[in-house]
Structure 1
Amino acid sequence: MSLMLAIFALVFVTQLVSWIGQGALLELAYAFYLRVFHSSTDARLRQLKRDVLATKAELLKTSAQDQFAKWAKLRRSVDKGLADLEKLNSEVQATKAAFAVKFNTAVWLLTTGVQFLVGWWYRKTPVFYLPPGWFGPLEWWLSFPFAPAGSVSVGVWQMSCKRVIKIGERVVKDLAASSSSHSSSEPEVQEASSEKKVS
């Protein structure tokens, strides 16, 4: 793959991560991590929640005055289940916090870190050459900081790609907003026309 396309793909992936949101990606990745590497803890947590809810439902059906012994036994079982659930939840939260640090570091390294690395590694390599004399004194700026004069540097190409992708994002959002407002106004137009027919 050419350097131009590789940098565009890298910038696009970085912007995609920011569009989706790092928090949403973290939740998806953690759910997958929990099911694959801590499946027993995940299963135990879900089973404990089901047991506590079932016992609590039975407790609510039991009369404290008429069946005190059964009610007290159920009450102790609910309290013990809630205590176990709280302990297990704190373990899961500690695991999630450790996972979040690793995940956020990995996402930063794979997006922003790789962009810095590519920018540094190819700092003297031109992404492509411009036709001579088309941009006059701007040719120096387009090759900034270390690319040969008359070419576009990696840093300038990264900024350009990011800008174009952001403009594309704005256009897509505007189109989506206009199409949703257009589709929501159609029923109102149909209702108004049906009211005219009735009258």
Structure 2
Amino acid sequence: MTLMLTLFLLVFVTELINWIGQSVLLEFFYALYLRIFYSSTAARQRKLKSEILLNKKELLQTSAQDQFAKWAKLRRSVDKGLADLEKLNSELSAARTAFSLKFKTALWIMTTGLQFVIGWWYRKAAVFYLPPGWLGPLTWWLAFPFAPAGSVSCGMWQMACRRVIKVGERVAKEVMAPSVEGSAGQVPTEQKTGAGTGKKDE
């Protein structure tokens, strides 16, 4: 029973991740990672961006001919700010690339990789046994490749769980779709009744 539940949960989590999308999860967890480990860098980046925008705005309003000293000072400030911002962007970009690689690797190990390991480790074990003669000569197929005859192997149980979860997902989407379309395409009562009414001639 423990093996059956473990394999089902692994398949369920894997399909749930596929349904949500790795990119969505990556963005969510990277935002947390950034807030925990790079909060000061991100704060400096935001502050630097706002300073550059203010200096650029002031630079555009300053005449290079009439106020050359002020214009040159603002220009140097903008150039220095852009150079510093480029360094911060490179640092955060490198951090994102490293985090993305580690996150995707950990996600694969905890889902698909773990399924492979458990399936190989328990390749000769029976997840559960079928009633005798339940599927006749096809019973051997459910024990494929190494499980005892009359039982369901880990690989077949994973395949069955994946299939059932995908069917359940499709049914859930079909059930939710009409309600969403109905609420989006609903015409207000005033529009329905107001179109056919008119004032009577007095």
TM-score (norm: length of structure 1): 0.90
| Alpha-carbon distance between aligned partners in 2 of 1:91 and 1:50, rounded to the nearest angstrom | 19
Match of 2:37 in 1: 37
1:139 corresponds to 2:166 = no
Q: What is the Cα deviation at residue 95 of structure 1?
A: 1.7
Residue by residue over 1:25-72, the C-alpha shift from the partner in whole angstroms, topping out at 9 and shown as x without a partner, is: 112222211221222222222221122122223333434444332222
| Alpha-carbon distance between aligned partners in 2 of 1:194 and 1:185, rounded to the nearest angstrom | 18
Gaps of 5+ in 1: none
Amino acid at match of 1:116: F
Match of 2:80 in 1: 80
Gaps of 5+ in 2: none
Cα distance, 1:126–1:79 mapped onto 2, change above 3 Å = same
Q: What is the Cα deviation at residue 198 of structure 1?
A: 4.1
Cα distance, 1:183–1:9 mapped onto 2, change above 3 Å = same
| Alpha-carbon distance between aligned partners in 2 of 1:12 and 1:198, rounded to the nearest angstrom | 58
Q: Which has the larger radius of gyration?
A: 2
TM-score (norm: length of structure 2): 0.89
Match of 2:60 in 1: 60
Match of 1:179 in 2: 179
SS of residue paired to 1:131: coil
Cα distance, 1:198–1:71 mapped onto 2, change above 3 Å = farther
What number of residue pairs does the alignment pair up?
199
SS of residue paired to 2:185: helix
| Alpha-carbon distance between aligned partners in 1 of 2:134 and 2:190, rounded to the nearest angstrom | 55
Match of 1:96 in 2: 96
- Fraction of identical pairs, as percent: 64
Moved more, 189-198 or 107-116: 189-198
| Alpha-carbon distance between aligned partners in 2 of 1:65 and 1:192, rounded to the nearest angstrom | 66
Match of 2:154 in 1: 154
Match of 1:28 in 2: 28
User: Cα RMSD between the aligned structures?
Assistant: 1.9
SS of residue paired to 2:29: helix
